[in-house]
C-alpha cells in the first residue's frame, strides 16, 4: 500500500513537471481568447453585424436584370404585316432607389443598436470567463497546498508508526500504540490519494477553461489587484460592469424602437428607372427607357401597427424592469463581497492562529511521548488536530482569495 501510493504520487509529480505552468494573468488571457463561450460570443457579434447588413439593404439602391425568350406556334400578323414575330427576346434593367423610406431607416438604426448590445454581451461573457478562470486557478493552487499538507501529515504519521514499532520491539511500547499509529497513517494516505485526485481534476478543469489539451500547472503564489473602496466599488458596479452596461443598452434600444413606431404610418417613395430591349412587337420601340416615382401610403393594415406598438411598449417596460433588478443585484453583490472579504480575513487570522497552536501542541505531545510522560493516543490526536488545522487554514485562505475575486468582479474590475 505504501509503495503503491508513493509510486502514484511520484508519477503525478513527474506528470505535473511536464505540464506547462501559467501565471494567473496568462491563464485568464488564454481563457478569454480560447474559451468556447468567448468564441461563441464573438460569433454573435458577427451575426449581429450580418443582420445589420440585411436590414440596411432596403435603404440602398436595388439593381435587377430580367430577360425572357419566347417562341410562339406562329408569328402574329395582320394581313401582310407581322405584329409579333414567332421568336422574341425581351430584356431590361431595373434600378430602384428609395427616396423616402423612414421605416427602413429606423430598422437600420435599430440593427446598429443590436450590434452594440452584442459587443457589450461579449464583454460580459469575457467577464464571466475571467472569473471562472481565476477561480479554477486558485482551486488548483489550493489543491497543491492541500497535497503538501496531507503529504506532510502522512510523513509524520509514518515516522510515528516506525517509532511505535521500534518501541514495541524493544518492549517499551505496546501493540495498541502500533495499531493506533498505523490507523492514522492509513487515514492520511487515504486523504492524500483523494487530494491528488482532486488536484488532477482541478488541473484538467483549468486546462479546459484556458483552451489547452491537457492539465495546466499554476504558480504557488499570486498577486491579486487591490480592491477599490466601498463607494468607488458601488459606483463602478453601476458604470463599469458589462452585464449592467449591456442591459442598459438593451433598454435604450427598446426605447428607440418604441420611439420610432411613428415611421409605420409614413409613406414610402421610390424612384424606378428601367431601360429595356425587346423585339417582341413592331408597335413598340426596340430600345428605350422609362422612369417612375412610386408612392406607397399605408392606410389600413388590420391593426398590425397598433399591435406592434403595444408589443414594443411592453418590451421596453420589461427591459427597464430587468435593468432595475440587475442594478439592485449589482449593488447587493458589492455589499456582499465586502462583507465576505472582511469575514474571510477574520477567518484566515483565526485559522492561522489555530494551526500554529496545533503544531505547538503536536511538538509538545511528541516530546512528552518520547519522555514517557504521555501515551500514543495523545500524539495521534495531536497529529490529527494539526492536519485538520492546516487544512482549515488553507480553506480559509482560499476563501479569502476567492472573495477578493468576487469583489473585483462585482465592481467590474475583473478581468
Burial grade of 220 (CB within 10 A; 0-12, 13-18, 19 or more): exposed
Residue 79 falls within a domain, yes or no? no
The average pLDDT across 182-193 equals: 92
Dig out the grid coordinates for 394 from the structure. 488553507
Residue 22 falls within a domain, yes or no? yes
Residue 280 falls within a domain, yes or no? no
Residue 87 falls within a domain, yes or no? no
Q: Which residues contact 194 (CB under 8 A, 6 or more apart)?
A: none
CA 227 to CA 335: how far, in whole Å? 13
- For residue 412, pLDDT over 70 is answered with yes
Helices (H) and strands (E) in the chain, counts: 9, 8
pLDDT of residue 2: 46
∠ CA 285-272-287, rounded to 5°: 15
- For residue 1, pLDDT over 50 is answered with no
CA 126 to CA 242: how far, in whole Å? 9
- For residue 16, pLDDT over 60 is answered with no
Instruction: Flag the least confident range among 66-70, 221-225, 341-345, 355-359.
Output: 221-225
Number of Cβ atoms within 10 Å of the Cβ of 81: 8
Q: Which of 34, 8, 6, 27 is nearest to 140 (CA)?
A: 27
The average pLDDT across 360-380 equals: 83
Q: Give the model's confidence band at 44: pLDDT under 50 very low, under 70 low, under 90 confident, else very high.
A: very high
Residue 322 falls within a domain, yes or no? yes
Instruction: Flag the least confident range among 101-105, 205-209, 280-284.
Output: 280-284
Instruction: Flag the least confident range among 183-197, 260-274, 344-358, 359-373.
Output: 359-373
Helix boundaries (H) for 260-375: 304-370
% of the chain at pLDDT higher than 90: 70
The average pLDDT across 245-273 equals: 96
Residue 75 falls within a domain, yes or no? no
**Count of domains observed in the chain:** 1
- For residue 326, pLDDT over 70 is answered with yes
Residue 352 falls within a domain, yes or no? yes
CATH, residue 179: 1.20.1600.10
**6 or 172: whose pLDDT is higher?**
172
pLDDT of residue 18: 55
Dig out the grid coordinates for 373 from the structure. 510522560
Domain extent, residue 348, equals 2-61+101-267+305-410
Q: Which residues pair with 82 in a beta bridge?
A: 77
∠ CA 125-329-48, rounded to 5°: 30
**192 or 374: whose pLDDT is higher?**
192
- For residue 9, pLDDT over 70 is answered with no
Whether the predicted model's global pTM rises above the 0.75 cut:
yes
Residue 53 falls within a domain, yes or no? yes
Distances (CA, A) of 207 to 137, 203, 212: 10, 6, 5
pLDDT of residue 166: 87
Which residue's C-alpha cell is 509529480?
13
Do 376 and 180 form a contact (C-beta atoms < 8 A)? yes
Burial grade of 138 (CB within 10 A; 0-12, 13-18, 19 or more): buried
- For residue 279, pLDDT over 90 is answered with no
CA 29 to CA 35: how far, in whole Å? 10
CA 81 to CA 275: how far, in whole Å? 27
pLDDT of residue 81: 82
- For residue 17, pLDDT over 60 is answered with no
Dig out the grid coordinates for 358 from the structure. 496545533
Q: What average pLDDT does the chain have?
A: 90
Amino acid at each position: 500500500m505504501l509503495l503503491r501510493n508513493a509510486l502514484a504520487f511520484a508519477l503525478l509529480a513527474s506528470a505535473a513537471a511536464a505540464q506547462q505552468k501559467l501565471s494567473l494573468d496568462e491563464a485568464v488571457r488564454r481563457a478569454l481568447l480560447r474559451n468556447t463561450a468567448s468564441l461563441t460570443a464573438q460569433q454573435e457579434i458577427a451575426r449581429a453585424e450580418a443582420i445589420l447588413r440585411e436590414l440596411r439593404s432596403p435603404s440602398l439602391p436595388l439593381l435587377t436584370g430580367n430577360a425572357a425568350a419566347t417562341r410562339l406556334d406562329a408569328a402574329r400578323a395582320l394581313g401582310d404585316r407581322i405584329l409579333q414575330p414567332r421568336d422574341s427576346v425581351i430584356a431590361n434593367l431595373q434600378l430602384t432607389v428609395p427616396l423616402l423610406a423612414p421605416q427602413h431607416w429606423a430598422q437600420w438604426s435599430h440593427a446598429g443598436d443590436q450590434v452594440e448590445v452584442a459587443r457589450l454581451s461579449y464583454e460580459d461573457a469575457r467577464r464571466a470567463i475571467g472569473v471562472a478562470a481565476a477561480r479554477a486557478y486558485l482551486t488548483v493552487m489550493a489543491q497543491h497546498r492541500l497535497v503538501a499538507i496531507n503529504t506532510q501529515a502522512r510523513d509524520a504519521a509514518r515516522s510515528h508508526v516506525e517509532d511505535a514499532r521500534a518501541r514495541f520491539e524493544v518492549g517499551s511500547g505496546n501493540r495498541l500504540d502500533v495499531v493506533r499509529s498505523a490507523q492514522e497513517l492509513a487515514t492520511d494516505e487515504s486523504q492524500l490519494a483523494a487530494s491528488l485526485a482532486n488536484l488532477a481534476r482541478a488541473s484538467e478543469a483549468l486546462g479546459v477553461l484556458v483552451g489547452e489539451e491537457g492539465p495546466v500547472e499554476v504558480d504557488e503564489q499570486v498577486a491579486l489587484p487591490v480592491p477599490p473602496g466601498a463607494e468607488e466599488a458601488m459606483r463602478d458596479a453601476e458604470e463599469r460592469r458589462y452585464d449592467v452596461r449591456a442591459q442598459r443598452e438593451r433598454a435604450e434600444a427598446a426605447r428607440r424602437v418604441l420611439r420610432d413606431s411613428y415611421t409605420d404610418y409614413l409613406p414610402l417613395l421610390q424612384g424606378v428607372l428601367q431601360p429595356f430591349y425587346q423585339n417582341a412587337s413592331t408597335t413598340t420601340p426596340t430600345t428605350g427607357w422609362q422612369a417612375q416615382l412610386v408612392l406607397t401610403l399605408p392606410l389600413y393594415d388590420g391593426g398590425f401597427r397598433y399591435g406592434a406598438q403595444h408589443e414594443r411598449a411592453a418590451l421596453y417596460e420589461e427591459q427597464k424592469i430587468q435593468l432595475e433588478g440587475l442594478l439592485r443585484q449589482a449593488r447587493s453583490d458589492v455589499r456582499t463581497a465586502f462583507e465576505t472579504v472582511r469575514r474571510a480575513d477574520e477567518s484566515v487570522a483565526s485559522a492561522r492562529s489555530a494551526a500554529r497552536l496545533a503544531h505547538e501542541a503536536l511538538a509538545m505531545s511528541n516530546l512528552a511521548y518520547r519522555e514517557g510522560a504521555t501515551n500514543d493516543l495523545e500524539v495521534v490526536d495531536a497529529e490529527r488536530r494539526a492536519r485538520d488545522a492546516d487544512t482549515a487554514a488553507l480553506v480559509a485562505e482560499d476563501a479569502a482569495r476567492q472573495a477578493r475575486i468576487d469583489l473585483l468582479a462585482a465592481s467590474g474590475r475583473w478581468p
